A and B are shown apart, each in its own frame.
Chain A
């Protein structure tokens, strides 16, 4: 990824100064991958996330944290001790050349150092300052301690995730998603502030609450309560609903899972389903083939019919049964492709590495090889969340080593 020719990214020309944090790191990466010049500032000794595993080749080393690697692509890095006069002066100089400051410090921490938004924006009204904190910078809860787990649990998502068996706890979705939610909102807000500045000439302060962000990332869990005071209940591998619904996640012959979405209703769905059963040689083995025939004869079934028409209900049930019957007899991948090529929406529950190796993603150029010259090899990273050919998303460099760009940026 060292090609410097070709179109530049959409945020080319914007400079971002980021104070390293675990929760706003993805925001900095997104801005950098979109073409901004992002300078990540770490304290002496490096940011704590350099100690997060796993590590490259399982060698514990601050330059080998895969967390650091992933969340800090396309950034240059400097070390500044903001608690010293020298470090504070260095930070002020960096901010003087920045369009956006991105930080996730505890509320009050920067003010105590006289390095907060009001002080640094005083003679620089174009400056945009984005704070990403657990509960926002003000209010009763501003200083409550929080982590990814407690944000997802206290903000709503975890209540909706888990199993039919409520003796099992609700589940935190994996992968630092509270930080991803907060960081994505931080990028939306940053770019909104950039566009507003083009009109007004003025920057502003942007306050991002990860708790608030999780609260509006729950679909019906929130709007169902707001509109109808409904409380959803978690259910295995499918939507939490006020009532218990039928399973949609099924275990296939190879032990892997698929999700079927909504069972067939239209005539065409039933035709596809029957054709699938016949093609697999299960016409005689599947006990309810006759109901599929009936479904086709009567032109499918509608949800509205279920409450009044026993046959419609039986047919609907047979469609679901047919999907389960097929799933138990073929592999998850065969089910996914077999269903989708017949127009039946379904998905294979892929592990991240299986998702990454899918032929489709590879064909679209999702694999990006990033040079890690310090290890004498390149490393394959996940690529662009969207393709924008005139100003491509691009990993311009691997994550910086500690203080790697001190000399070129700080003139040390």
Chain B
């Protein structure tokens, strides 16, 4: 199928990918970018709309419909897309044929859906004994609440991540995006890769059962140890207070207003030296007061110090504040709006972080790149997400060996 990139790190691997949305598609997106052949299987009856981002905005222009979701495009670059009606025996046969020539099967349906379709792990390994089968569901395949339904924001809520993000005396701020769709996808990718390393060493496949909630709860580790070791819960007076830094203790440390509308700068003094350089830059008596030279003193007047710093930043341009602090060696940045970091940041442009992918219907669209560069087998993203069934003919013909007449018949019979 398709000319393989000789240099792709994983161009020797094939993924039969039933996953979607963001938490599944994000995992196989990385594997595709480093050369794995990812064959995404979608449902022709519902036109792939199980995946809610398939036709969802934002849109590149006025066109609407299942081929125009920019999130779908972003998360499915470099994948092949085929349709199979898995309600039919013939559709299931074809999926079996695909599994038989795949290294990995991925999915992020609700727990139990694959087994109900006739593709439990036992059935998959009967087809391909060393298959690495990776499931990613909200609560995992078993357990008291495995049937509960989740989206990213629900996973974040129940895993402790939403609570951990906020200002004192305010409701939880949480995450203004599906953080656990990203991190869930990334951790799912780790599971797939670890499963492959194990298979290659031992010849043994397995079913990896990922509960996105548990993956999320591993991301609040030190707070949990404070609870299990010291009996100190994060639900306590004055917490969470996540713009400040309690562990390690750092002052000043926060997000301060700057000139203009909804403009902000983040400043983090790591130690006394950072603060002294910042104080010298501010060059006002309240800052250079030698009593502020020690962390203990700054911590005891944190609120007053924050107020003073906010007064100082409020009348200044956010870029000027951040740049002058960085020039003094103090970690500081504007709170970047999308346009700041996408169109005006050498930290992303020099990295090549926004590659242009060509989508068959949408045309050329910039997408997320990969935040890792490999010196010998780097990633590449040039092809957009597949239109529904865009590669059905190609995959059935070249990979599964069907002839044109058979393929045509499958379409007529509503199998593809």
Contacts and interface: CB of A to CB of B under 8 A. Distances in A.
B57 A228 contact: yes
A149 B315 CA distance: 22
A278 B153 CA distance: 28
Contacts of B165: 161, 171-174
A224 B338 contact: yes
A140 B266 contact: no
A227 B143 contact: no
9 contacts: A67-B247, A70-B225, A153-B266, A160-B176, A175-B219, A209-B372, A223-B74, A347-B154, A361-B214
Given A192-B34, A345-B150, A212 B371 contact: yes
Contacts of A257: 171-172
B215 interface: yes
B71 interface: yes
Interface residues of B, number: 156
B167 A168 contact: yes
B38 to A, nearest CB: 14
A180 interface: yes
B9 A386 contact: no
Interface string A5-44: 0000011111000000000000000100010000000000
A222 B338 CA distance: 6
Interface string A146-185: 1111101111111111110010111111111100111011
Determine the main DSSP class of B at the interface with A.
Answer: mixed
Contact of B71 (A11, A204, A223): A223
A185 B186 contact: yes
B409 interface: no
A53 to B, nearest CB: 5
Interface string A219-247: 11111111111111011111110100000
Number of contact residues on A: which range applies? 35 or more
A391 interface: yes
A198 B195 CA distance: 14
Contacts of A363: 143-144
B94 interface: no
Interface in A233-267: 234-240, 242, 248-249, 251, 257-259, 261
Given A177-B219, A217-B183, A354-B235, A387 B224 contact: no
B338 A225 contact: yes
Given A171-B242, A172-B255, A259-B157, A231 B339 contact: yes
Interface string B344-367: 011110110110000000000111
Contacts of A69: 225
A382 B221 contact: yes
Given A345-B151, A391-B206, A140 B347 contact: yes
B189 to A, nearest CB: 5
Contacts, number: 531
Nearest to A166: B262
B190 A188 contact: yes
B164 A173 contact: yes
Given A209-B371, A363-B143, A347 B197 contact: no
A348 B374 contact: no
A150 B253 CA distance: 10
Contacts of A182: 371
A64 B341 CA distance: 39
Contacts of B372: 185-186, 188-189, 206-209, 212-213
Contact of B211 (A163, A215, A386): A386
Nearest to B157: A347
A56 interface: yes
B162 interface: yes
Contacts of A147: 245, 250, 268, 270, 331
B144 A205 contact: no
Contact of A157 (B175, B214, B268): B175
Contact of A352 (B164, B211, B376): B164
B295 to A, nearest CB: 11
B266 A149 contact: yes
A350 B162 CA distance: 8
Interface in A326-368: 336, 340, 343, 345-356, 358-361, 363-364, 366
Contacts of A366: 214, 217
A24 B353 CA distance: 21
Contact of A54 (B196, B226, B266): B226
B287 interface: no
Contacts of B206: 388-391
Contacts of A56: 229-230
A316 interface: no
A302 B149 CA distance: 20
A222 B71 CA distance: 10
A270 interface: no
Interface hub of B12, B211, B270 (most chain A Cβ within 10 A): B211
A154 B220 contact: no
A172 B265 CA distance: 12
B353 A215 contact: yes
Contacts of A379: 225, 228-229
Nearest to B329: A145
Interface string A186-202: 11110111111011101
A376 interface: no
A196 B334 CA distance: 39
B140 interface: yes
Contacts of B225: 66, 69-70, 379, 381
Contacts of B193: 188, 191-192, 194-195
B118 to A, nearest CB: 22
A364 B211 CA distance: 10
Given A169-B255, A237-B173, A382-B218, 9 more contacts: A30-B190, A71-B221, A163-B173, A222-B368, A231-B337, A352-B223, A364-B142, A386-B191, A387-B209
A383 B387 CA distance: 40
A226 B178 CA distance: 18
A202 B334 CA distance: 41
A159 B175 CA distance: 10
